[in-house]
Amino acid sequence: MATYTGTINVGATEISNLEFHRMFVMKMRLVIATEMAAQTTPAANGYFTIADVIKMATWPARCVPLLLMTEVVTPSTAAATADIGFAGGQELEAGFDCDAAAGTCTTDSCMDAAVASGFIDGDTVDFEVLTANMSDGDYRFYIVGFDMDA
């Protein structure tokens, strides 16, 4: 395979060609029991059920998610999984392991769909229960992104 030197900005990059945007980390803490107590139906049932969606945060328009970091503070007693993404989707992480051992940390680069879903109009960052009823669990989520309008 050949390597070619392009003709655009080959030398020192012109400062006028650089754009500076603001990087940020969105931090969220999801304690299932706390969220369940704040909602009428889950509190009456004693759990969040399959396909329930918990809206965790508002994602601003024109911001691009790059990386999701997760931490299990206290695992769920149920063998549950969840999708983390926009509008109840799985754009940030598909099949998050809610009953992983305490202290388990993972990182995932965001899928291409995350850019399309969250970038133009903004959205909500959601946790969707997939495989089991959940009554407990404590999790931290961090999304690294950048603001195109900054």
pLDDT of residue 10: 52
Cα–Cα distance for residue pair 150/63, rounded to 1 Å: 9
Cα–Cα distance for residue pair 4/19, rounded to 1 Å: 25
Residue 82 predicted with pLDDT over 90:
yes
- 21 pLDDT band, cuts 50/70/90, is confident
Residue 56 predicted with pLDDT over 70:
yes
Span 61-65, average pLDDT: 85
pLDDT of residue 117: 57
Span 13-30, average pLDDT: 75
pLDDT of residue 123: 82
Q: Across all residues in the chain, what is the average pLDDT?
A: 84
Cα–Cα distance for residue pair 136/150, rounded to 1 Å: 38
How many CA atoms does the CB half-sphere of 112 hold within 13 Å?
0
Residue 3 predicted with pLDDT over 80:
no
CA distance to 44, 103, 123, per residue, from 87 (Å): 25, 27, 7
Span 119-138, average pLDDT: 88
